[in-house]
Chains A and B, each alone.
Chain A
Amino acid sequence: MNNFIKASAALALMTITACTNNGIDDSNSVDLNAPINGSTSGLLSDQASPAYFQQSIGDRVLFLVDQASLTDEARSILAAQAGWLASNPAYSAVIEGHADEQGTREYNLALGARRANAAREYMISQGVAGDRLKVVSYGKERPLEICSEENCYAKNRRAVTVLSSDLTG
Chain B
Amino acid sequence: MTNPLLNLLLALVTAVGTLVGAAHAQDGPLRIEITEGVIEPLPYAAPDFVPDSAAAAETAQQLTRVIAADLSGTGLFREIPASAHIGQVQDFAAPVQFADWKAINAQALITGGVTVSGNKLTVRFRVWDVFAGKELGNGLQFVGTTDGWRRMAHKVADAVYSRITGESGYFDSRVVFVSESGPKNERRKRLAIMDYDGANVQYLTDSSAIVLAPRFSPTGDRVLYTSYETGFPRIYVLDVGQVKRRVLESQDGTMSFAPRFAPDGKTVVFSLAEGGNTDIYSMDVSSGKTKRLSSSPSIETGPSYSPDGKQIVFESDRSGTQQLYIMSADGGAATRISFGQGRYGTPVWSPRGDLIAFTKQSKGRFHIGVMRTDGSEERLLTASFLDEGPTWAPNGRVIMFTRETKGASGRSALYSVDITGRNLRPVRTPDGASDPSWSPLQK
Query: Within 8 Å CB of B233, what residues of A?
Result: 109, 136-137
Interface presence of B61 (CB below 8 A) = no
A30-B230, A109-B257, A146-B410 in contact; A13/B273 too (CB < 8 A)?
Answer: no
How many Cβ-Cβ contacts under 8 Å join chain A to chain B? 181
Indicate whether A106 sits within 8 Å of B206 (C-beta atoms), given known contacts A16-B240, A24-B229.
no
Q: Complex Cα distance A21/B141, Å? A: 40
A59 within 8 A of B: no
Q: Closest A residue to B202 by CB, please name it.
A: A16
Q: Per-residue CB proximity of B231-248 to A under 8 Å, as 1/0?
A: 111000000110101000
Q: With A and B bound together, what is the CA distance between A101 and B185 in angstroms?
A: 11
Report A112 CB to chain B, min CB distance, Å.
Answer: 9
Identify the interface centre among A19, A22, A110, A138: most chain B CB within 10 Å of its CB: A110
Q: Which residues of A10-40 have CB atoms within 8 Å of chain B's CB atoms?
A: 10-11, 13-22, 24-26, 29-32
Complex Cα distance, B138 from A116, in Å, reads: 63
Question: Cα distance A110–B301 when bound, in Å?
Answer: 8
Residues of B contacting A8 in the complex (Cβ-Cβ under 8 angstroms): 141-143
Residues of the A chain whose Cβ atoms lie less than 8 Å from the Cβ of B222: none
Residues from chain A with a CB closer than 8 A to the CB of B147 are 13
Pick the contact of A29: B208, B212, B359, B408 (CB < 8 A): B208
Partner of B257, one of A20, A106, A145, A169: A106
Q: Which residue of A lies closest to B346 (CB)?
A: A104
Establish whether residues B435 and A105, one from each chain, have CB atoms under 8 Å apart when the complex forms: yes
B139 contacts chain A at the CB level, 8 A cutoff: yes
Which residues of A in the span 86-135 have a Cβ within 8 Å of any Cβ on B? 94, 101-107, 109-111, 113-118, 120-121, 134-135
The reply to whether A141 and B361 form a contact with Cβ atoms under 8 Å apart is no
Tell me the minimal C-beta distance from B207 to chain A in angstroms. 10
A86–B148 Cα gap in the complex (Å)? 64
User: Given A19-B243, A136-B233, A118–B276 Cβ distance below 8 Å?
Assistant: yes
Tell yes or no: B383 within 8 A of A by CB: no
In the complex, A24→B145 CA distance in Å? 36
A141 to chain B, nearest CB (A): 5
Q: Chain B contact residues (Cβ within 8 angstroms of A): what range?
A: 35 or more
Residue numbers in B under 8 Å from A94 (CB-CB) = 231
Q: How far is the CA of A26 from the CA of B144 in the complex (A)?
A: 42
Partner of A24, one of B209, B276, B361, B406: B209
Is A6 a contact partner of B143 (Cβ separation < 8 A)? yes
A159 to chain B minimum Cβ distance, whole angstroms, is 11
Map CB proximity to A onto B157-185 as digits: 1 under 8 Å, 0 otherwise.
00000000000000000000000000111
Contacts of B206 in A (CB 8 A): 19-22, 24
B241-A143 in contact (CB<8A): no
Output the residue of B203, B273, B301 with the most chain A CB within 10 A: B273
B70 within 8 A of A: no
Stretch at the interface among B52-60, B385-393, B420-428: B385-393
Task: Please tell me if A43 contacts chain B, counting CB pairs below 8 Å.
Answer: no
Are A110 and B205 in touch, CB under 8 angstroms?
Answer: no
Are B255 and A109 closer than 8 Å at their CB atoms? Answer: yes
Asked if B193 CB lies within 8 Å of chain A CBs, one says: yes
Complex: A106 Cα to B271 Cα, angstroms: 9
Give chain A's interface residues, CB within 8 Å of chain B: 3-11, 13-22, 24-26, 29-32, 68, 94, 101-107, 109-111, 113-118, 120-121, 134-138, 141-148, 169
Task: Using A19-B205, A105-B212 as known contacts, list a sample of 10 further A-B pairs with CB atoms less than 8 Å apart, ordered by residue number in A.
Answer: A5-B139, A11-B143, A14-B240, A16-B202, A16-B204, A30-B230, A104-B302, A104-B388, A114-B276, A146-B408
Q: Which 10 A-B pairs have the closest CB atoms?
A: A117-B276, A11-B144, A110-B278, A113-B273, A104-B345, A30-B231, A110-B299, A146-B184, A8-B143, A11-B148
Provide a sorted-by-A list of 13 A–B residue pairs whose CB atoms are within 8 angstroms: A3-B138, A8-B142, A8-B143, A13-B147, A20-B203, A30-B230, A104-B302, A109-B271, A110-B278, A120-B276, A136-B231, A146-B185, A169-B252
